A = this chain, B = another copy of it.
Amino acid sequence: MNFASDNVYGIHPRILAAISEANSGTTPSYASDDYSKRAEEALCEVFEKPVRAFLVTTGTAANGLALSAIAPPYGAVICHAEAHISCDECNSPEHFTGGAKIIGLRGAGGKITPAAIEKTLNGFIRGEHDPKPAAVSLTNATELGTLYSPAEISAISALIKPRGMKLHIDGARFANAVAGLGVSPAEATWKSGVDVMSFGATKNGAMLLEAVIFFDTELAEDFAYRRMRAGQLVSKSRYLGAQMLAYLKDGLWLENARRANALAQRLAKGLLSSNSLRIPHPVQANEVFTVMPRRLYDELQGAGVRFFDWMPDGLGLDGIKEDEILARFVLSFATPEEDVDRFVDLMRLKRVA
């Protein structure tokens, strides 16, 4: 039973097959091959817009590169305090942007509000003594498995665009967001004011594949230089292109996400029915967070259940006691359904008094 992360599982068979199929003959390298070109076209179709899309190998690189196109070295990027760019990427955003400041705000359920952003922006009254407010980065689905709706994204866009700021989505779990929201990819992004997105595929079935997608294509003007300079232009680029084509073909990406999301609902429902654990915020994507006694965490790890103790600092959570933890369970397209059921059964036995 492994709920540690969606990246502990492997590659979806159709994506693995696509890699094998791409393995014949010669192709141009460095993203000038047909696979890469067709991948960009496929993303244009998915987003119903002529986007510019650049394939890279990790989510950290995708985020850093995307931010570098919208935040100058003297700029500030506002995000949630628990955002990956704020606390999970060493100093990578600083590296890619040349030193921009990442300002993490607290907010319930892993989400930041227009009010919190506005309050922060209103504090920037001293010109160059502060960094220049450059961008807001939202994670969708969030690190807490919650979702920003198009209306929520639009409200933030409406706040920041008149100030000349740009809007980025860290979409490491974007498929889960689209599947959970039940809206189109376009509605969840550019129709709501998003300028650029890190579009994740790795967690949801690919091997190592993310795309930086520009909805505001002018921002992409020099992006090929940025990708090259960051060591993210791969020579045998056909294998990234082929993965992306398979990921999008026949909606595999959403199919995978729907399955993972459904498993999360199944897990949450099972845990609630066992009446033993608090689930402090809505389960909207492929993650379930529960508050549990620390000794239960230790017991479960001992029983071979893999999941993380997720530090609550910055989450704005009330009511977690000293001897409790916030436990994170991540469901993947590849998580066996029986693992969920076995875990729920196990928890029934462990029922908290």
Interface set of A (CB-CB < 8 Å, partner B): 2, 4-5, 7-11, 16, 19-20, 22-30, 56-65, 72-76, 87-92, 94-96, 98-101, 123, 127-132, 202-203, 207-208, 222, 224-236, 238-240, 306, 311, 313
Cβ–Cβ < 8 Å partners of A62 in chain B: 231
Task: List, in ascending order, chain B residues with CB within 8 A of A231's CB.
Answer: 56-58, 60-65, 89, 92, 96, 230, 232
CA distance in complex: A4, B188 (Å): 42
Complex interface: chain B residues within 8 A of A96 (CB): 231
A129 to B301, CA, bound (A): 22
Of B2, B24, B63, B91, the contact of A26 (CB 8 Å cutoff): B2
Can you pick out 25 interface pairs between chain A and chain B where the beta carbons lie within 8 Å of each other? A2-B26, A5-B235, A7-B235, A8-B26, A10-B24, A10-B25, A10-B238, A57-B234, A58-B234, A73-B229, A74-B90, A74-B222, A90-B128, A90-B131, A90-B229, A91-B100, A91-B131, A92-B230, A95-B230, A98-B99, A128-B224, A128-B233, A132-B222, A208-B239, A208-B240
Contact A7 B20 (CB under 8 A): no
Choose among B60, B225, B234 the residue that contacts A228 (Cβ–Cβ < 8 A).
Answer: B60
Closest 6 CB pairs of A and B: A61-B231, A94-B99, A74-B225, A7-B235, A128-B228, A98-B98
| Interface of A (DSSP majority class) | loop
Alpha-carbon gap, A42 to B203, bound state (A): 28
Instruction: Please name all residues of chain B whose beta carbon is closer than 8 Å to the beta carbon of A63 when the two chains form the complex.
Output: 231
Identify which of B27, B65, B95, B123 contacts A8 (C-beta below 8 A). Answer: B27
| Complex partner residue of A19 from B19, B100, B130, CB under 8 angstroms | B19
Residue numbers in B under 8 Å from A202 (CB-CB): 234-236
Task: Flag if B123 contacts A313 (CB, 8 Å).
Answer: yes
* List of B residues within 8 angstroms of A59 by Cβ: 235
Judging by beta carbons under 8 Å apart, are B222 and A236 in contact? no
- Which of A22, A232, A240, A311 has the most B CB atoms < 10 Å from its CB? A232
Contact A95 B99 (CB under 8 A): yes
Identify 5 new A-B residue pairs, CB closer than 8 A, beyond the known A74-B90, A90-B229.
A7-B235, A7-B236, A74-B225, A92-B231, A128-B227
Distance between Cα atoms of A15 and B225 in the complex (Å): 30
Shortest CB distance A9–B (Å): 6
Beta-carbon contact of B98 and A73 below 8 Å: yes
Evaluate contact between B128 and A207: CB separation under 8 angstroms. Answer: no
**A8, closest chain B residue (CB):** B26
Chain B residue contacts of A313, Cβ below 8 A: 123
Distance in angstroms from A191 CB to nearest chain B CB is 29
**Chain B positions within 8 Å of A64 at CB level:** 231
Chain B residues with CB below 8 A from A100, complex form: 91, 94
